[in-house]
Structure 1
Amino acid sequence: MPRFHCPADLAPGAEIDLPPGAARHVQVLRLQPGDGITLFNGGADGPGGEFEATVLRMGRSDVRVQVGAHHAIEREAPRAIHLVAGITANERMDWLVEKATELGVASITPLVAERSVLKLKGERADKKLAHWQAVAVAACEQCGRNRVPVVHDAVDLAGWVRAHPQPPADPTAPLRLLLSLREGTRPLLQAAAGAGPVWFLSGPEGGLSAAEETLAVQHGFAPTTLGPRVLRAETAPLAALAALTLA
């Protein structure tokens, strides 16, 4: 059954108009009154899960549906992994956001690193952020997730560590891991032992600079490795996500 993200208060019996994006998709699929669909609002709060719904009316540019039964189904990863990823060039960042969402990432923070080819500011940054969030929504519709990961504003590493000071000796704080090629790294699964949440930091093409790695280590990030091969900037965080969420 087709699934659509509908960021609204959903309740059995309610009649609602689908948001423009979902309505266009319903029309493209040539669904008709009486056809069934699945809705989810994607938020971290509220009932979660998903709702049955039935198409009531197909307008020229709008679609009205009646919300049906609620199903408390969640398909989230057992461990919350928050990705801080260097912004990659061209469409590679789209691919990274899409696949990270499919793998169960809890949130994504695009990192404006020293070696990032794409630098985002102002209106361009706002448009990119909205685009990446839409990519995450579409990936949730496809893969069955009912919680849409938040794509946070792009930030440089200095700004990130200012906004996320390391709590002193707090065992409940997220583990901080840094993907690194430096000497003395530990294998990922060894460094990530446990079941608590994780902040996972990886760089863009060319990796993080030495200064950025030093700053990360100073703020509690433990250097880790995925093995002897050097993976692409968009592949490495996905390999880490797969290891941490599918293990």
Structure 2
Amino acid sequence: MVEPNQVVANQLRLSSSQQHYLYRVLRLGAGQQFVALDGLGQQWLATLTAVPDQAAIAPLPVSATATQAPITLAIALPKGSGFDDVVRQTTELGVSTIQPVISDRTLHQPNPKKLERWQRIALEATEQSERLLLPKILPPLPWRDYLQQTTEGQRWICVARGDAPHLLAAAQVGDPLVPAAIAIGPEGGWTAAEVEAAIAAEFQPVSLGPYILRAVTAPLAALTLVSAARALNYSLANSKDI
């Protein structure tokens, strides 16, 4: 991952830490190549040169997935360090924004230092998965404060019990070009008052299936379902235009 100001014309200026990683950890040398990403949607094929802090670059094409509408996960903070895994794995799966929320059943108040840790985990996962876009990890918000400021066009709140439609079915009839938000509850689920507040904020209650998923598993399932439905809808829409 590189900063945009490191790119000058067709050259990439490498920081000391990047040089260490490329030359010492990966054991690359002059003439060898790697993919450089800026986290904002650009990628380049970079070739190391005889000058240690420089690499020659050529732009690479942007895939269709990078242009699809963003998906926000609003996740009630789970206990322990489980949120670290949620950040890492949802980044690999393509989440655009992660909004940690403090629900009525959140057991622990988040440590302010955790945000920096989550952002670092997201950066590492973005590099590992060669994603073009670095997801945003926002500071935690109380649930009702989040509801007052959300702007996504499609909004779903996952509930564990009841007769809510399946998230996959809801996503399949949605527009893949409209930003979406998916809300995932804590251990024990949302309270009735929290669900009512979400409905008032135009969130549609949905189900993830007949089984009770752990608080760290549900975000992965939800994101996978919506991403798959959107990719299929996007593909079908494009095939009709051919």
TM-score, length-scaled by structure 2:
0.82
Residue 144 of structure 1: how far off its partner (Å): 2.0
Q: Deviations over 1:82-134 (max 9, x none)?
A: 100111223311111111111111111111222223312xxx32x21121111
1:82 aligned onto 2:72:
yes
TM-score, length-scaled by structure 1:
0.81
The structure with the largest helix share of the pair is: 2
1:68 is matched with: 57
1:147 is matched with: 133
**Corresponding residue to 1:215 among 186, 194, 197:** 197
Q: Secondary structure at the match of 2:127?
A: helix
2:179 is matched with: 197
**Which structure 2 residues correspond to residues 3-82 of structure 1 after superposition, within 5 A?**
5-9=1-5, 10-18=7-15, 20=17, 22-26=18-22, 27-43=24-40, 48-56=41-49, 64-74=53-63, 75-76=65-66, 78-82=68-72
1:158 is matched with: 144
Q: Could you tell me the percent identity over the aligned residues?
A: 30
Q: Which runs of 5+ in 2 are unaligned?
A: 230-242
Q: Which amino acid aligns with 1:198?
A: A
Question: Structure 1 pair 54/239, CA: closer, same or farther in 2 (3 Å)?
Answer: same
1:235 is matched with: 217
Q: Secondary structure at the match of 2:100?
A: strand
Residue 15 of structure 1: how far off its partner (Å): 4.3
Conserved? CA contact 1:87–1:112, under 8 Å:
yes
Cα distance in 2 for partners of 1:8, 1:161 equals: 33
Conserved? CA contact 1:78–1:245, under 8 Å:
no
Conserved? CA contact 1:11–1:67, under 8 Å:
no
Conserved? CA contact 1:129–1:153, under 8 Å:
yes
The Cα RMSD (Å) is 2.2
